[in-house]
Structure 1
Amino acid sequence: MATHPKEIRIVCGLGNPGAEYEHTRHNAGFATVDALARRADVRYWKSEAGALVAPYPVRSQDGSERTVLLAKPESYMNTSGGPLSKLMRAHHVSPQEVLVVHDEVDLAPGALEVKFGGGLNAHNGLRSIASKLGTRDFARLRVGTGRPPGRMSVADWALRTLKGAFLEEFLAEAEDAADLAALCLERGVEACLGRR
């Protein structure tokens, strides 16, 4: 039976906790959620179910208002499905009501794509989530990081601390991703599928 995305109730950014990972490509999900939080003037994150959470106000196209939960799992990327699944149970949220924001090496730097379901592309965060939820049917916002140059490993590329112009680009891309995430919340995921 085919499933479809529903109105999003949780936006979960993927990343690794700690200052040493903050400005790395692998933390594109956290950076995007942080950009959304700044727009809503979020001053306080609380710890719940192993994740940092904050409310985010959304005005839908029909003018109605609702509150979505922003979430950043406090575990490492490869175990992020645990905190997210606990949070979903606590708030009675289905997989189809979740938008996961994550880094994607198979998209060019700065490229963005919204998709629903499908493959996990060897992404440890997505694998953990799909395993804990028992389904791949959740929405994703893929934030392109590109592939490493030369013989550098994907892990080194993803976890290298960004500085100077590279950091400026990364933060600008997170703002663009936050724009697209906000559009998903306002218009619905289906209206944004494939959008780059």
Structure 2
Amino acid sequence: MTAELKAIVGLGNPGEKYTKTRHNAGFWLIEQLLRESHASAKSVSRLHGLHAQVSIRNQAVHLLMPMTFMNVSGRAVRALMDFYKLQPEQILLVHDELDLPAGTARLKRGGGPGGHNGLKDTIRCIGREFARLRIGVGHPGDREQVLGYVLSAPGKADAQALDNAVYAGCRAIDDWLERGWDYAVNRLHSSN
């Protein structure tokens, strides 16, 4: 039996210049959940980010977009955990994933950072026991191009694929809340 989902944290960078970049895939998913819930996030300084509490499948869920910049996201996740007395197992962290093709979404529990600095800082602050929703953004092919790649906007085809992955991620969250983790994983991984 897996823990009940209580909070979803989308990783990204604050500011207009980062809004459409691949690195903000986590923010895109939170923004979609806010639209679907007819809600808006408010700046909460003690949480170091934009926060909302919404109802998804008749369950209260905290949504957070850290405004700390990607590489120090962990302190916002820790602040959310401490303030609302959450366990890492109750948190879903949504982030861009270079190792998945653009448009692929995958759920995962635990694991290492895989070179992702936002994950690395979150693991440093709360450990590895949180769930992840990985939004595939593809890889530029050359390791030296990664930073420029994740901090740039995708082309039209990749942008549509990423929108589809965000939508699939939102449906997986619905499935987790309604039918459980295993069902959500199986359905997402067989359909996306």
TM-score under structure 1 length normalisation: 0.87
The answer for unaligned runs of 5 or more in structure 2 is none
1:12-46 Cα offsets, whole Å, 9 max, x none, are 00100111111111111100111111000113434
Residue 96 of structure 1 is matched in structure 2 by: 89
**C-alpha displacement of 1:118:** 1.5
The corresponding residue for 1:106 is: 99
Measured in 2, the distance between the counterparts of 1:88 and 1:96 equals 10
Match in the other structure for 1:137: 129
SS, match of residue 95 in structure 2: strand
Higher relative contact order (CA 8 A, sep 6+): 1
Q: 1:177 aligns with which of 158, 169, 172?
A: 169
Count of matched residue pairs: 187
CA shift for structure 1 position 95: 0.2
Q: Which has the higher helix share?
A: 2
Matches within 5 A, 1:61-72: 65-72=58-65
How far 1:181 sits from its partner (Å)? 2.4
- Contact 1:184/1:192 (8 A) holds in 2: yes
Post-superposition CA distance 1:117-158 (Å, at most 9, x none): 12221111111111001x211100111111114576111111
Aligned counterparts of 1:146 and 1:179: Cα–Cα separation in 2: 21
Amino acid at match of 1:176: A
1:126 corresponds to which residue? Answer: 119
CA RMSD of aligned residues (A): 1.9
Question: Equivalents in 2 of 1:44, 1:179: separation in Å?
Answer: 20
CA distance in 1, matches of 2:128, 2:41: 31
Report % sequence identity.
Answer: 34
- How far does residue 51 in structure 1 lie from its aligned partner after superposition? 1.5
Among 81, 86, 89, the alignment partner of 2:79 is 86
Matching of residues 28-47 of structure 1 within 5 Å? 28-47=25-44
Of the structure 1 ranges 155-164 and 100-109, higher mean CA displacement relative to structure 2 is found in 155-164
Task: Note the residue ranges of structure 1 that are not aligned, 5 or more in a row.
Answer: 60-64
Report the TM-score, using the length of structure 2 for normalisation.
0.89
Distance 1:149-1:54 versus aligned 2 partners, 3 A rule: same
